Amino acid sequence: MAAYLIAPTIVLLAIVIGYPIVTAIIQSFQKDPGLDAATGQFVSGGFAAVSNYAHWLLQQCMNASGNTIACPPGNLGSGFWNATGVTFFFTVVTVALETVIGTWFAIIMNRTFRGRALVRAAILVPWAIPTAVTAKLWYFIFSVAGIANALFQSHILWTSDTWASRFAIIIADTWKTTPFMALLILAGLQLIPEEVYEAARVDGASTWRTFVTITLPLIKPALMVAILFRILDALRMYDLPAILTGGGGGSGNATTTLSILVVKQIRAGYNSASALSTITFLIIFIVAFIFVRVLGTNVVRTQEAQQKGTKA
Amino acid sequence: MSSTTAGSSTTVATLIPSRTAVRAKVRVRRKGSAQRVRTGISAIVIVVWCLLPFYWMIITAFRDVGFTYDTAFWPTHITLDNFTTAFSTALGNHLGQALLNSLFIGVCVTAIALLIGTFAAYALARLDFRFKGVVLGLILGASMFPGVALITPLFQLFTNIGWFGTYQALILPSISFVLPLTVYTLTSFFREMPWDLEEAARIDGCTQGQAFRKVILPLAAPAVFTTAILAFISSWNEYLISSQLSSDATQPVTVAIASFAGSQPHQEPYTAVMAAGTIVTVPLVILVLIFQRRIVAGLTAGGVKG
């Protein structure tokens, strides 16, 4: 019975995810078609062994005479480690900021005060706006003559300077995604019974001490799940940098994430792009695996516990 | 420990209010009002931070293009020209078509995901079977799958079979992230439903069909509806896959807005883009605010970003 009910979902997911991933892995071991260096003839590829992976990981390119050389600057291959660094930098900074600010949002929303409904409604607004629109909105705010520079009387090149463009993306992402983080943390906060806080208050614990010794340990499972989701989401970041800075800034790739690099590569050669997208997928998978193993986050169980809690 | 001190002092305090007890009471009251003020200020900061950029988009949308960089915080130089520009096909802005495309793609994706996902969610929430944890983990993993890993092979496949730029080429990949979200959110909702009522209805003489129609369906409808909204929003907001696989005729609004042309040559069409952004966003925001409570429940249940 259960098998019949679940089969359509699994089959459909196998078609839309399983098929592409298997194809991508097979293709990643094929050469991209191009001109054969020795004969000058057009060749349609062939088995490439791991050369596509070496191209990205070890920055190996073919020169005109068919020898393996280090990729020259400007070649997409030489941008791999830069893109990896940028992706992880964005992930660490945005997730850290969103966790701290999101926790603060959640704590405020968990208190009873007049206007709480307004706060809860307001934080849904950034979440509901499509990332593409968010990117355009901040592109305008961060334009040279835009409101950000006008407000701070500055002349920062928010979309072309190396670090300014990175921070522009971090600010925009934090604005857009903190509400989502706050809602997940709030769900965890609401499970803490009021009596626990009352007991702390009677014992004369300070606000900070209450937070560190009671709130934090009790919301840890919810917090860990929220952080895990955010990390996996940030590692595949594409829309915001693609639209806000075009992956540019600085010498031209200050905000190029791995996803942007894959998209740039698609039109330059499927098979090499497949290798890069497989690498990206593996990086995300490994990060998730480490996170779950090291921190012992059980996503499914935490969520189940949360639902039982809200039901009670 | 201090609670026992407080207890003993109150017994004394019934006769003579001890100085420490009075001081402690004052401190609590002061702390209470100080915290109220801090909460209030925090709340205002949060609301302003969340709404100000959105507000800025809307007032810019109504601002004359010649005053794009006006820094007044209230609406000035009000005009509707930006909306005309946004819909101007003469300038190459196919916003009208793009809105229809997004709507069509969103409805198809949502319908397919709900139709198929409801069965899976029912099984995951109600039935016990082997590999249940594996299936749940698989579906959760699928929702975290990076979109770029899909577009490379799909780009090639769709080009080869002549689907490039068609609606089905945009609908199918979207299912890869909408279906897991649907199943996961619905499963959470279904777990919370009072299924005992179904049995009660049967005992009271309903047939299985009647029990389903009269008891389960009305109970499940809000859950399914909320999930539908979340599914639709996540499809409506999708950009990466559409930006690579759509053509001018089928591109959704997110792609259209990212490549916008303005009424003034050699000038970034900020005001027109803000107008388009307003059109795309405001219906969504209204929808979200109306169903706020349920959407928050769905979001935290699914735990998946829309």
State whether A185 and A91 are in the same domain: yes
State whether B275 and B193 are in the same domain: yes
Q: Which residue in A16, A189, A243 has the most chain B C-beta atoms within 10 A of its own C-beta, making it the best mutation to test that interface?
A: A16
Q: What is the spatial distance between Cα B105 and Cα B162, in angstroms, rounded to a whole number?
A: 19
Find the farthest-apart pair of alpha carbons in chain B and give their distance in angstroms, rounded: 92
pLDDT of res. B4: 40
Residue B267 has pLDDT above 90, yes or no: no
pLDDT of res. A130: 93
State whether A109 and A255 are in the same domain: yes
Phi, psi of A115 (to 5 degrees): 90, 5
State whether A206 and A217 are in the same domain: yes
Residue B74 falls within a domain, yes or no?
A: no
Residue B177 contacts A, CB cutoff 8 Å: no
Helices A162-189/A299-311 angle, 10° precision: 50
For A253-303, give the secondary structure using H, E and C: CCCCCHHHHHHHHHCCCHHHHHHHHHHHHHHHHHHHHHHHHHHCCCHHHHH
Residue B41 falls within a domain, yes or no?
A: yes
Residue A278 contacts B, CB cutoff 8 Å: yes
Using CA atoms of B237, B241, B243, B249 in order, give the dihedral in degrees to the nearest 10: -90
Residue B69 falls within a domain, yes or no?
A: no
Is A181 buried (19+), middle (13-18) or exposed (0-12) by CB count in 10 A?
Answer: buried
Residue B46 falls within a domain, yes or no?
A: yes
Q: What percent of chain A has pLDDT over 70?
A: 86
Instruction: For chains A and B, count residue pairs whose Cβ atoms are closer than 8 Å.
Output: 290
Q: What is the spatial distance between Cα A119 and Cα B33, in angstroms, rounded to a whole number?
A: 20
State whether B190 and B262 are in the same domain: yes
Give A112-162 pLDDT, tens digit per residue: 888 888 898 899 999 999 999 999 999 999 988 888 888 888 888 888 888
The residue type at B287: L
Mean pLDDT of chain B: 83
Beta pairing partners, A69: A61
**Residue corresponding to tokens 């420490």:** B20
* CA dihedral over A172, A173, A177, A182, signed as positive or negative: negative
Give A189-231 pLDDT, tens digit per residue: 888 888 888 888 888 888 888 888 888 888 888 888 889 889 9
Residue B252 near residue B101 (C-beta atoms within 8 A): yes
pLDDT of res. A159: 82
State whether A72 and A100 are in the same domain: no
State whether A179 and A30 are in the same domain: no
| Nearest residue, CB atoms, A9 vs list B42, B71, B179 | B179
A7: enclosing H helix or E strand: helix A2-13
Q: In terms of Cα–Cα distance, which of A195, A218, A128, A112 is closest to B43?
A: A112
Q: What is the spatial distance between Cα B81 and Cα B85, in angstroms, rounded to a whole number?
A: 6
State whether A61 and A96 are in the same domain: no
pLDDT of res. B13: 41
pLDDT of res. A62: 67
Residue A234 near residue A94 (C-beta atoms within 8 A): yes
State whether A46 and A84 are in the same domain: no
| Token couple for A92 | 């660490």
Give A289-308 pLDDT, tens digit per residue: 888 887 766 666 666 665 55
Boundary of a domain, candidates A35, A59, A77 = A77
State whether A39 and A86 are in the same domain: no
pLDDT of res. B72: 83
CB atoms within 10 A of CB A237: 24
State whether B124 and B246 are in the same domain: yes
CB atoms within 10 A of CB B187: 25
| Nearest residue, CB atoms, A175 vs list B53, B60, B188 | B53
Q: Which residue in A has a C-alpha nearest to residue B287's C-alpha? A: A128
Residue B124 near residue A6 (C-beta atoms within 8 A): yes
Q: What separation in angstroms does the CA of B79 have from each of A37, B64, B88, B281?
A: 60, 6, 16, 19
State whether B21 and B122 are in the same domain: no
Q: Which residue in A137, A160, A231 has the most chain B C-beta atoms within 10 A of its own C-beta, making it the best mutation to test that interface?
A: A137
CATH number where B116 lies: 1.10.3720.10
Residue A196 contacts B, CB cutoff 8 Å: no
The boundaries of the domain holding residue A306 are 80-311
Query: What SS3 state is found at A36?
Result: coil
| Token couple for A182 | 């706050």
State whether B39 and B146 are in the same domain: no
Residue B87 falls within a domain, yes or no?
A: yes
**Residue corresponding to tokens 């031209």:** A252
CATH number where A289 lies: 1.10.3720.10
Residue B67 falls within a domain, yes or no?
A: no
Give A10-31 pLDDT, tens digit per residue: 999 998 888 888 988 888 888 7
State whether A297 and A148 are in the same domain: yes
The boundaries of the domain holding residue B167 are 81-302
Residue B169 has pLDDT above 60, yes or no: yes
Give B197-234 pLDDT, tens digit per residue: 888 888 888 887 788 788 888 888 888 998 999 999 99
